[in-house]
Amino acid sequence: MSGFDVTRADTRRTRGLVALASLALSAGLLAALMLTGEPQSDAASGDAIRLAMAAPTDPATISDAGVPLQDTATEDTTPLLLEPDVLLRVNDAAFTDCRSCPTRIQAERTVPRGGTLAGVLDDAGVDRVEAARAISALGTVFDLRYLRAGERINLYFETETPADGSDAVTRLDGLSFRPDVERSITVARTFEDDFRARETIAQFDREIVRASGSITASLYVDALAAGATDRVVVELAGVLAYAIDFQRSIQPGDQFDILFERFVDEEGNTARTGDILYAMYDGRGDAKEFYRYETEDGIVGYYSPEGASAQRLLMLTPINGARLSSSFSTARRHPILGYTRRHNGTDFAAPRGTPVMAAGNGVVERADRFGSFGNYIRIRHANGFQTAYAHLNGFARGVRAGSRVTQGQVIGYVGTTGRSTGPHLHYEVHQNGTPRNPMTLDLPTGRQLTEAEIPLFEAERDRIIAIREAAHSANDNDAPLVADAGNGAQ
């Protein structure tokens, strides 16, 4: 791993060889001066040195490292002088011919579900005392409570065979991992035989780009083709969820436009995306536009060009990627019972296990088994509204009667419990005890801007419009950066 210390044994060996060669060179020069008894010119000295350093032609006098050996059968006692390139070969031989130099091994381990770093190190054969020291050092830069299941840990080991021929010794030399795209954590063994941790923060350039196009397959597929990312599409769905029924409103030919932040590395690769600044969806001439705006008290929301909040008391559909299989109706033939009866909700067919979200903020009134509804959740909201979710496969952790939930929070999962012909969500909305069609309900909006806030919002809206008009396509890798200081500067 880059950045780890070279072993002290290798360092001492190299320094010793260099010192020995230097002493030999000095002794040779001194002996030559004493034998001649008179000073030599620079040229003569150079010739003498070059002659003394000439390599013998007898292969028997050449070492494995290519270094001339002293011929003990002759009476020539002239010291051996080493040229710089020969000295380099000596140094190289110190490593390549070494029989006890340490070998470094890299291994990758993955943190299992419910696992810990201590467990990962133990499974890799790391001594528990050494593991504890490394974990202690890591704790100075990283809170291990945030180590996620599935995190890949690179482990580095050093294996050294002692000179006396005893068994090889393997020890942990360090570890590294990346908890997120911007951070790299390294723990390395030092010269003092301790561990030291270091956190490296990557620097990315911020740019504002635009992804726009028309629907040919789906909003997800076409937005990705326009240069958006998975995260941007999910956030776009959250912005538009209150205004668009994704199960019925999306049609081929509809137009979309997204202005969003992304952060790129020095090679232009997208590291992550940031906020959506602007979102537009135009379905059959009914364009919905929303601008991001943060109030002075720090609340972020999306608003229409006139300043009306995009958020509603309840989401139109509390599930993503589902198919509308049965609508709200006063008369519907029941698929199991066989006779016609009122259908007070909307059914969304989806695979078993698909997450179901709370349609709005509220308090859970019940989360249990409820007759033909199977696993059932009912939530009480403001303004006399209630929502119900039936046939669930199970409940999300912490969802129980009396618990508070927020809009968009996962509360359960699609199933087919109770009286059901297949996996689907049965969703109901009641207002003051009366069933209402959630697809046509005129719901109250979220926070409204005050008269004093409207001019500030309009200034931010105009700033975003100017950025949008200057922004390049998200598919254009050569797009120049658009700086945004957050205060109107570009």
Which CATH number is 164's domain given?
3.10.450.350
In a domain, 469, yes or no: no
The larger pLDDT score, comparing residue 259 to residue 382, is at: 259
- Answer yes or no: is pLDDT of 212 > 70: yes
In a domain, 243, yes or no: no
Same domain membership, residue 331 and residue 425: yes
The residue type found at 53 is M
Same domain membership, residue 143 and residue 39: no
The larger pLDDT score, comparing residue 365 to residue 265, is at: 365
Same domain membership, residue 118 and residue 59: no
- Reduced to 3 states (helix: H, G, I; strand: E, B; else coil), residue 189 is strand
Same domain membership, residue 135 and residue 178: yes
Which CATH number is 380's domain given?
2.70.70.10
Question: Tens digit of pLDDT for each residue in 305-344?
Answer: 999 888 888 887 888 765 565 655 554 444 444 444 555 7
Residue 360: CB atoms within 10 Å? 24
The larger pLDDT score, comparing residue 300 to residue 38, is at: 300
Last residue of a domain, one of 150, 172, 201: 201
Query: Average pLDDT for residues 146-163, to the nearest whole number?
Result: 85
Tokens of 138: 């890591």
Residue 381: closest CA among 361, 357, 395: 361
Residue given tokens 């537009």 in the structure block: 280
- Answer yes or no: is pLDDT of 90 > 90: no
Cβ within 8 Å of residue 312, ≥6 positions away: 242, 360, 443, 444, 445, 446
Same domain membership, residue 350 and residue 421: yes
In a domain, 277, yes or no: no
Enter the pTM of the model: 0.53
In a domain, 108, yes or no: yes
- Answer yes or no: is pLDDT of 141 > 80: yes
Residue 193: CB atoms within 10 Å? 9
Number of domains within the chain: 3
In a domain, 230, yes or no: no
> Cβ(273)–Cβ(260) under 8 Å?
yes
| Lowest-pLDDT range of 84-88, 200-204, 317-321 | 84-88
The residue type found at 145 is R
In a domain, 63, yes or no: yes
Same domain membership, residue 364 and residue 347: yes
In a domain, 361, yes or no: yes
Same domain membership, residue 429 and residue 327: yes
Residue given tokens 């002239």 in the structure block: 78
Query: Average pLDDT for residues 17-38, to the nearest whole number?
Result: 59
Would the CA dihedral through 464, 465, 466, 472 be positive or negative? Answer: positive
Last residue of a domain, one of 76, 96, 116: 96
**Average pLDDT score over the chain:** 76
What is the rounded distance in angstroms from the CA atom of residue 392 to the CA atom of residue 399? 13
Q: C-alpha angle 462/468/474, rounded to 5°?
A: 160
φ and ψ at residue 93, rounded to 5 degrees: -65, -30
Residue 429: closest CA among 419, 420, 441: 441
Same domain membership, residue 133 and residue 85: no
Last residue of a domain, one of 140, 168, 201: 201
Same domain membership, residue 119 and residue 92: no
Same domain membership, residue 425 and residue 343: yes
Question: Tens digit of pLDDT for each residue in 43-70?
Answer: 444 443 343 334 444 443 444 444 444 4
Domain extent for 369: 323-436
Same domain membership, residue 130 and residue 76: no
What is the rounded distance in angstroms from the CA atom of residue 280 to the CA atom of residue 430? 30
Structure confidence at residue 29 (pLDDT): 59
- Reduced to 3 states (helix: H, G, I; strand: E, B; else coil), residue 444 is coil
Burial of residue 310 (CB within 10 Å: 0-12, 13-18, 19+) is buried
In a domain, 309, yes or no: no
Same domain membership, residue 426 and residue 327: yes
